Amino acid sequence: MSRGKRLSFGLALAIILVVLGGLAWFLVAIFEGERPAASLEPSLQYLNGPKEFNLKVSDSKSGLKYLIVKVVQEGRKVKVLEKKFPYKGFLNKEGDHEYTQHFTVDPSALDLGQGSIELILEVRDYSRRNGGDGNLSVVQQKMIVDTIPPSIRAVSRMNYINRGGCGFLVYEASSDTVESGVYVDGMFFPGYPAGEGYSDTAHVCYFTFPYYMKKRPQLYLWGKDRAGNESKAGFYYRIRRRRFRTEAIYITDQFLRKVLPYFSFYHFEENLSDIEKFLKVNRELRKENGAAFYALRTKTEPVRLWEGRWLRLKNSATMARFADHRNYYYKGKKIDEQTHLGVDLASLAHSEVQAANHGKVIFTGRMGIYGLTVVLDHGQGLASVYSHLSEIRVKEGQRVIKGEIIGTTGQTGLAGGDHLHFGVMVNGIFVNPVEWWDSHWIQDNITRKLAMLKKRP
Ligand SMILES: [Zn+2]
């Protein structure tokens, strides 16, 4: 072979190799096996109405060709969304490689029945694989269509509520209800299953028409099921107006000298006079303490712990009542006003204090202006408060029975003399304690209504 022929043979071989290489590269490119990436959000367990979803698909190699979103229910397929992507440029280089889209799944528009469905996203690319169909990615989501709100209905026909007092409602809530209770204007009072011996659907709710609300509130029953469907129902109630007393309290220097040393733990600004310190305690510390009492509402047990009439401090006189409006005077001038949120009971100094009913200790210790305090949970949002104690005889977490000694009276905190400040809370809101000492009130407002509830068969 001449040198010239060898050269041209070599060149031909090189060209063939390049062509073959190019062909191989081309085939690998058009038959690529990488599936498109696909995601579907959010991931839901239940569908209770039209819900918006967001899909995101991408294919870095041959690009997006086709996508479809469908809903399948018991073999029936409904198309929700379909999209074809045009092929653009050499090897679809200018085609779509990424795509995002919002879409809505509306059970009623798609004529879906109640029960399980499957939401399916399928996306294909422009690869020549699979007989030219391309690589396929599938995202599937199983969920349950539930658009029927829970059924909820008051059982007690007439409900009386004293302003500042406790209301009690018994009601039936269908078994799919996961949360229910009473709304007093914008304020929610959670209800609870009635408990042992009652049917699963039987519920109870303690609530109040708060002492501070001036105008008549709108009350209604509310419930939500696992899918998020909500129901509202009215019930009959009658609110009895109550007038609260107004009381004048005269602050003397002698009183200030007596009570202020207790508040040495409080961070006063420098150079405050005694009366300025008193005002800080009476306003700011009182407010902090109110928030701390309110926070205790979450520590309640879902079952009823109490039974029968509540106990009142033995041989005691009432010194101040619930929701007394107190005007404070110093050197002849009005300096402050506050509301008294319990009943003050005075007996002999260091009298033994009994648990008003069965319960569980959820707080012990100093509580600002209330001094040494014990709080008992009685279940289902009810709690009792014992303040100004000289000694505490129980520990947090401990169960107590009605009548058990939990401490002794004293004058810790903002107290002029030895007494027990007794409070009752409904879901963290103070209510008038006197109702709970009255067996007739308990019979008419609680026991009689509980008897109307369905018993467990
Ligand atoms: Zn008091």
Q: Give the amino acid at 279.
A: L
The pLDDT value given to residue 96: 93
CA 343 / ligand 1 centre spacing (Å): 6
Query: Across residues 181-197, what is the average pLDDT?
Result: 95
In whole angstroms, give the CA distance from residue 20 to residue 268: 89
CA 307 / ligand 1 centre spacing (Å): 25
CA 311 / ligand 1 centre spacing (Å): 17
CA 339 / ligand 1 centre spacing (Å): 10
The pLDDT value given to residue 425: 98
In DSSP terms, 141 is beta-bridged to: 119
For the cut 90, the answer to whether the pLDDT of residue 253 exceeds it is: yes
- The vertex-292 CA angle with 286 and 296, nearest 5°, equals 145
Q: Specify the DSSP element, H or E, that contains 294.
A: helix 286-295
More confident residue, 28 or 345: 345
CA 185 / ligand 1 centre spacing (Å): 28
Q: Which of 122-136, 193-207, 268-282 has the lowest mean pLDDT?
A: 122-136
Q: Give the amino acid at 265.
A: F
The pLDDT value given to residue 327: 97
For the cut 80, the answer to whether the pLDDT of residue 3 exceeds it is: no
CA 387 / ligand 1 centre spacing (Å): 8
- Computed over every residue of the chain, the mean pLDDT equals 94
Q: Name residues with Cβ closer than 5 Å to ligand 1, which is an ion.
A: 342, 344, 421
CA 384 / ligand 1 centre spacing (Å): 13
Could you tell me what percent of the chain has a pLDDT over 90? Answer: 84
The pLDDT value given to residue 91: 85
CA 375 / ligand 1 centre spacing (Å): 15
The pLDDT value given to residue 1: 57
CA 224 / ligand 1 centre spacing (Å): 39
Handedness of CA 73, 79, 85, 86 (dihedral sign): positive
For the cut 80, the answer to whether the pLDDT of residue 4 exceeds it is: no
The pLDDT value given to residue 18: 86
Token look-up 């967001």 returns 54
The pLDDT value given to residue 2: 67
CA 414 / ligand 1 centre spacing (Å): 9
The pLDDT value given to residue 206: 98
CA 219 / ligand 1 centre spacing (Å): 30
pLDDT digits (tens, 9 = 90+) for 85-105: 999 988 888 999 999 999 999
CA 322 / ligand 1 centre spacing (Å): 8
The beta-strand segments (E) located in 351-419 are 352-354, 359-366, 372-379, 382-389, 391-392, 399-400, 405-408
Is the Cβ–Cβ distance between 202 and 313 less than 8 Å? no
For the cut 80, the answer to whether the pLDDT of residue 435 exceeds it is: yes
- Could you give the count of Cα atoms lying within 13 Å of 412 in the half-sphere of its Cβ? 22
DSSP 285: I
DSSP 3-state percent helix, strand, coil across the chain (nearest 5): 20, 40, 40
CA 341 / ligand 1 centre spacing (Å): 7
For the cut 80, the answer to whether the pLDDT of residue 132 exceeds it is: yes
In whole angstroms, give the CA distance from residue 5 to residue 119: 67
CA 425 / ligand 1 centre spacing (Å): 14
CA 167 / ligand 1 centre spacing (Å): 23
CA 147 / ligand 1 centre spacing (Å): 50
Q: Domains along the chain?
A: 33-145 (2.60.40.10), 152-242 (2.60.40.10), 247-431 (2.70.70.10)
CA 261 / ligand 1 centre spacing (Å): 19
Work out the pLDDT band at 46, boundaries 50, 70, 90: very high
The beta-strand segments (E) located in 126-243 are 136-145, 152-154, 159-162, 166-173, 177-184, 187-190, 192-193, 202-208, 219-225, 230-233, 237-240
Compute CA 86 distance to the chain's CA centroid, rounded to the nearest angstrom: 49
CA 420 / ligand 1 centre spacing (Å): 7
CA 344 / ligand 1 centre spacing (Å): 5
- The vertex-139 CA angle with 133 and 143, nearest 5°, equals 140
**Which tokens in the block code for residue 230?**
């909500």
Q: Which of 192-201, 210-219, 300-309 has the lowest mean pLDDT?
A: 210-219
The pLDDT value given to residue 100: 97
CA 155 / ligand 1 centre spacing (Å): 37
In whole angstroms, give the CA distance from residue 388 to residue 411: 5
Q: Give the amino acid at 289.
A: N
For the cut 60, the answer to whether the pLDDT of residue 28 exceeds it is: yes
Backbone dihedral region for residue 102 (phi beyond 0: left; psi -120 to 50: alpha; all else: beta): beta
pLDDT digits (tens, 9 = 90+) for 405-429: 999 999 999 999 999 999 999 999 9
DSSP 195: -
**Which tokens in the block code for residue 306?**
């109490």
More confident residue, 6 or 270: 270
